[in-house]
Structure 1
Amino acid sequence: MTDTYDAIVVGAGHNGLTAATVLARRGKRVCVVEKSGQAGGMARTVDYAEGARGPEIAHLLYNLSPKVAKDIALRVETRKLPTIAMSPDGKHVEMAGDTLRFADGTAHPEAEAYAALRKRLVKFARLLGQLSDAPPPSLAEGLAGLRDIGGLARLGLNVKRLGKQDMREFLRIILSNAYDLLLDDLADGPVAGALAADAVRGCWSGPRGPGSVFTLLYRLGQGGDVLLPMRGMGAFETAAKDAGVEMRTRSTVASVMVEQDQVRGVTLDDGTILQAAAVLSSLAAPLTMQLAGARHFDIEATRRLQRMRAKGTTAKLNLVLSATPDMPGLSDAQKAARLIVAPSATHVESAFNPVKYGEASAAPVLEAVLPSLSDPSLCKDGRQVISVIAQFVPHAPDGGWTAAQRDDLSKRIIQTLEVHMPGLQDLITHSTLLTPDDIETLTGAPGGHWHHGELSIDQLLTVRPVNGLSRYSFGVRGYYLCGASAHPGGDVTGSPGRNAALQLLAEGVLS
């Protein structure tokens, strides 16, 4: 059995769906092949229990590119959430844009310093955000590369336009660590802790790690608003179907067919052949190479891909509750906010240390959301769901993820939450834990890393995923990388997918 398309996309995560939609809206016949029974990848919504649904892994939109939303006609209803930095003494802090105050509405002594710091960081982040909507430049590509250098030239000009003081500050902090930056202006408490947690979420790094300022700026690239997608992130799949993209779920690509250094299509595990002049993979870079076969890549590229760092440190706990939990110090409306448990920047750094030795932190850094408070359609009968991201959990602890290890991690997360939600344990009717190992098994992300590869300075821009393969075209004519391991990286942005599709069209593969 053989079908023919203009392009085939491997993986129906949001980046794969974005790439497919961009091509389909430009008149191309596109098929997306997904091994699971549901599209969405790490951004999909699933049943936690009967009558209770929620985000399986990713639960918020941080960095969605406006150009992506426009190019794929994305229609997603969102609710902007404040962030609550939870404090062990009950004096929780509400962070909403540049505004900082205690959760009870009283003035916070760091409000002015926080506003100045955040405005400065967002200003710098928007400069870097200019680089997200185009391939990273390459001087090795003649005039095409020189055209793309224009993006860097504009960045340099905009940096100069900051003025001498801000320009010096931007250059001073860009490669430094978030810990020192934050504590220059803030006391080491819940506010600094929340910002430090944002700087390293999903990363193999503590806030004292070199370059953690860069990853903090990355999170602020589109202004830093925290958006909850109502009814989940299925809008990416809807946009693809509206554009005429064909979806093949429960189908696994066994290999990418290559003849005379040109992609010819894919072979599915049931023997079905899908022919196409272009194949885009939203899988991680090493897996994308394996699908085509390492023999089609030069030795240096193969070596670099094999050494790409991707150590996942993030687990996910999804809970169904019989009722809304008590949260002393928070109003009913504030319970629907993004809740951060990171008492200080020092706490975040200390929580990273055990992971280096294959152990989970005894007091994990948490980001929790009760999406059903904002979107009652997710639950029935007065129940609520909690979606919890736990930072600093090893991919492969000593002895592996035994039932006892899994139970211990779940208890640690719940006990950490229960400090701020007394009686939480008694409300839990269902729980699902996904360790980094589970995330790797479920999604194929190497090491269970949410970004398919560390967001470190040596794995960004022209060296993402590796030097020589940074512009989406992936070793073989017609083969493209369109997932989180491509520029600009992870989070629910859609930028890698959009950029890869536009690069394919610009290179004339389908003409």
Structure 2
Amino acid sequence: MSARYDAVVVGGGHNGLVAAATLARAGRRVCVLERADRLGGMAAGGAFPDGTPMPRIAHLLYNLSPAVLNELGFGAGGPVETRALPTVCLDPEGRHVVVRDGSPVLADGRPHPEAEAYRRLAARLVRFGGLLARLADAPPPQVSERLADLAGMRRLGPLAALGWDFRKLGRGDRREFLRIVLSNAHDVILDELSDGPLAGSLAADAVRGAWAGPRAPGTVFSLMYRLARGGGAALPLGGMDAVIAALADRARSLGAALRTGAEVTEVRVEGDRACGVRLADGEEIAAGAVLVATAPGAAMRLAGPAHYDIEAVRRLRNMRAKGTAAKLNLRLDGLPEVPGLGPELLGGRLLLAPSVEQVERAFDPVKYGRVSEAPVIEAVIPSLTDPQAAPHGGHVLSAIVQYVPHAPEGGWTGAARDRLRDVALAALETALPGLSARVTAAETLTPSDIEAATGAPGGHWHHGELSLDQLLTVRPVNGMARYRFGPAGHYLCGAGAHPGGDVMGAPGRNAARVALADATAGEAAA
């Protein structure tokens, strides 16, 4: 044994760092072990050959937990300075739409004819999403809690608060919530709006990263989940690397040890209790608790399937995690000249989803292992907002490309990667003419590449589908939804745990708090 800690955290992404900081803040000795040579996981940055930084995978902040910010002392402003971005709904016909603070206008400044209908729909979805936000900062409710037990009543507090908030909605909103919550985004959106870029933008957000089209049941729930904290997109100055650096600095300042290049190959279990980890080089580290920020299946394999009952193993192996999002990073020598879109709007969140029907059609090819010829794309040009994003001049464009299969017909050959890049560029070119001529360097990451780089199964950004049967009390799977993960002292603290993905930090915080409660109870019993 090289050392002993109160807790070891496996994985140095944002959830692992939040978990470590939460434990260290409570006075626990903590060590974070990250297999890569840098912290960050999917939020880690990269660089082009000339040294220009790029947001390699994640590029925007959504839903960062206020509880995390408050408890770690960042305040409402977050760990780094950010800029709120408008959403620019791109239209190949040039009729671009800009959405700021839930209100749309045409890109040329004229009122949008459906502005009021959109505002009503978006405000309603945000209000409904706010109900779900109540459940994000605590373990999912367990309805079998004993009400006679004070601790059980306390754990049911978030559910009671949800019920009270639901009651306060008013009869009409309560009826509407129950009508649409399990419905599909296609119908709910087109009941209120005519089809086009504005409606398409909502559909795209409903299926972001999912193996689903907007007609799939439950996609309204997914959309509300994404809008749980308002749905605003923020660009961190200094990139996502700055967010990770701020979280790492806070964890260190609280006493946590952070190690990179430290691959954990086994969670050691003795007497059906996690007691430490073993690294790839044979080093062993003892710990009273082990928190794992990997995907659920990988966390199970680290401890060993023998420490889980057969049904738990079956459920974890069958957890759906088919990634459909690829990443395209472009180095540009200048900006394309787009009629109606000046630099201020080009610096927004550019969303290529021309209609709800087009988003649905884009999903069809991936079912059969093919790349969509008209993918849905979310892009940002961070260098228009943040001077640090392109210190050598020019610009950087970061694009999330959906729908792309994890394992296409014929595999990801060099030719297949080139074709994916060309398809994505051609799609962007329909709304941003002249873009391709500005590209001086490009990096294409397929879902398979993302899996290899981060360990995310299927390259899925959320470690598993955010679908109705894999959320709340059944995330990651039924019977394992409250962070305790198999052997005593073993906890799941990554995006595969409640409340799921996005750079929110809630899974890391919640898992750490459960581990602290267990440790305190154990100390009291001793």
2:96 is the counterpart of 1:92: yes
Q: TM-score, normalised by structure 1?
A: 0.98
Aligned match for 1:497, one of 508, 511, 520: 508
Contact in 2 for aligned 1:98/1:119 (Cα 8 Å): yes
Q: For 2:212, what is the secondary structure of its paired residue?
A: coil
Report matched runs for 1:450-465 at 5 Å. Answer: 450-465=461-476
Q: Equivalent of 1:205, from 199, 202, 212?
A: 212
1:273-288, aligned counterparts within 5 Å?
A: 273-288=284-299
Residue of structure 2 in register with 1:356 after alignment: 367
Match of 1:107 among 111, 115, 118: 111
Structure 2 residue 384 is the aligned partner of structure 1 residue 373: yes
Query: Alignment partner of 2:252: what SS?
Result: helix
> What residue is the counterpart of 2:54 in the other structure?
54
Structure 1 residue 377: deviation in Å? 1.1
Which deviations, in whole Å up to 9, do the C-alpha atoms of 1:385-422 show, x marking residues without a partner? 00000011000011111111111000000111112222
* Partner SS, residue 350 of structure 2: strand
Give the structure 1 partner of residue 312 of structure 2.
301
TM-score (norm 2): 0.95
Number of the residue aligned with 1:13:
13
Counterpart code for 1:129? A
- Measured in 2, the distance between the counterparts of 1:212 and 1:395 equals 21
Aligned length: 511
Letter in 2 for 1:202: G
Give the match's secondary structure for 1:276.
strand
Cα distance in 2 for residues equivalent to 1:175 and 1:327: 40
How far, CA to CA, are the matches of 1:146 and 1:444 in structure 2? Answer: 38
Where does 1:130-141 land on structure 2 (aligned, <5 Å)?
A: 130-140=134-144
Cα drift, residue 140 of structure 1: 4.5
2:247 is the alignment partner of 1:236: yes
C-alpha distance in structure 1 between counterparts of 2:513 and 2:326, whole Å: 34
Structural mapping, 1:175-254, within 5 Å: 175-232=182-239, 233-234=243-244, 235-254=246-265
What are structure 2's unaligned runs of at least 5 residues?
none
Q: Map Cα deviations across residues 183-222 of structure 1 (whole Å, 9 max, x no partner).
A: 0110100001011000000000001100000110111111
Q: Which residue does the alignment assign to 2:82?
A: 78
Deviation at 1:2, TM superposition (A): 1.3
Tell me which moved more, 237-246 or 143-152.
143-152
Find the counterpart in structure 1 of residue 268 from structure 2.
257
Question: 8 Å contact 2:349–2:379 — kept in the other structure?
Answer: yes
**In structure 2, the residue corresponding to 1:247 is in which secondary structure?**
strand
Give the partner amino acid of 1:81. L
Task: Return 234-243 or 216-225, whichever deviates more.
Answer: 234-243
For 1:61 and 1:406, locate their aligned partners in 2 and report how far apart those are by CA, in whole Å.
Answer: 27
Matched residue of 1:355: which SS? helix
Query: Partner of 1:508: helix, strand, or coil?
Result: helix
SS in structure 2 at match of 1:507 = helix
Q: How far does residue 238 in structure 1 lie from its aligned partner after superposition?
A: 2.5
What one-letter code is carried by the residue in structure 2 that aligns with 1:122? V
1:303-331 deviations in Å (ceiling 9; x for gaps)? 10011000000000011111122222112
SS in 2 for 1:201: coil
2:155 to 134, 148, 169: 148
Task: Find 1:328's aligned residue among 327, 339, 357.
Answer: 339
Change (3 A) 1:145 1:351: farther
Distance 1:149 1:173 in 2: 25
Give the distance between the partners of 1:106 and 1:49, measured in 2 at CA. Answer: 42
Q: Helix, strand or coil: the match of 2:431? A: coil
Does 1:466 find its partner at 2:473? no
Are the aligned partners of 2:359 and 2:376 in contact in 1 as well (CA < 8 Å)? yes
User: Are 1:426 and 2:426 matched, yes or no?
Assistant: no
Q: CA deviation at 1:10?
A: 0.4
* Contact 1:358/1:398, CA 8 A, preserved across alignment: yes
Cα displacement (A) at 1:236? 2.1
Contact 1:279–1:480 (CA under 8 A) maintained in structure 2: yes
Report the RMSD for the aligned CA atoms in angstroms. Answer: 1.2
Q: Report the AA paired with residue 120 of structure 2.
A: A
Per the alignment, in what secondary structure is the counterpart of residue 17 of structure 2?
A: helix
1:336-386 CA-partner distances (Å, limit 9, x unpaired): 000000000000000001111111100100000001111111213421000
String of CA shifts for 1:26-72, please: whole Å, max 9, x gaps: 11111110011110110112212323112111111111111111122
- Rounded to whole Å, the distance in 2 between the matches of 1:478 and 1:72 is 24
State the SS of the aligned residue for 1:399.
Answer: coil
AA matched with 1:371: P
**1:141 positional shift:** 5.2
CA contact (8 A) 1:40 1:236 kept: no
| 8 Å Cα contact 1:139/1:146 also seen in 2 | no
Tell me, in whole angstroms, the C-alpha distance in 1 between the residues paired with 2:392 and 2:476: 47
**1:61 touches 1:228 (CA, 8 Å); kept in 2?**
yes
SS in 1 for 2:364: helix
Structure 1 position 145, deviation (Å): 4.1
- Uncovered stretches (5+) of structure 1, i.e. residues with no partner: none
The residue aligned with 2:45 is 45
SS in 2 for 1:198: helix
Contact 2:18 2:508 (C-alpha < 8 Å) held by counterparts: yes
The CA distance in 1 between the partners of 2:399 and 2:253, in whole Å, is: 32
Moved more, 144-153 or 175-184: 144-153
Task: Tell me the secondary structure at the aligned position of residue 277 of structure 1.
Answer: strand
Supply the AA of the counterpart residue of 2:96: H
Change in 2 beyond 3 A, CA 1:448/1:175: same
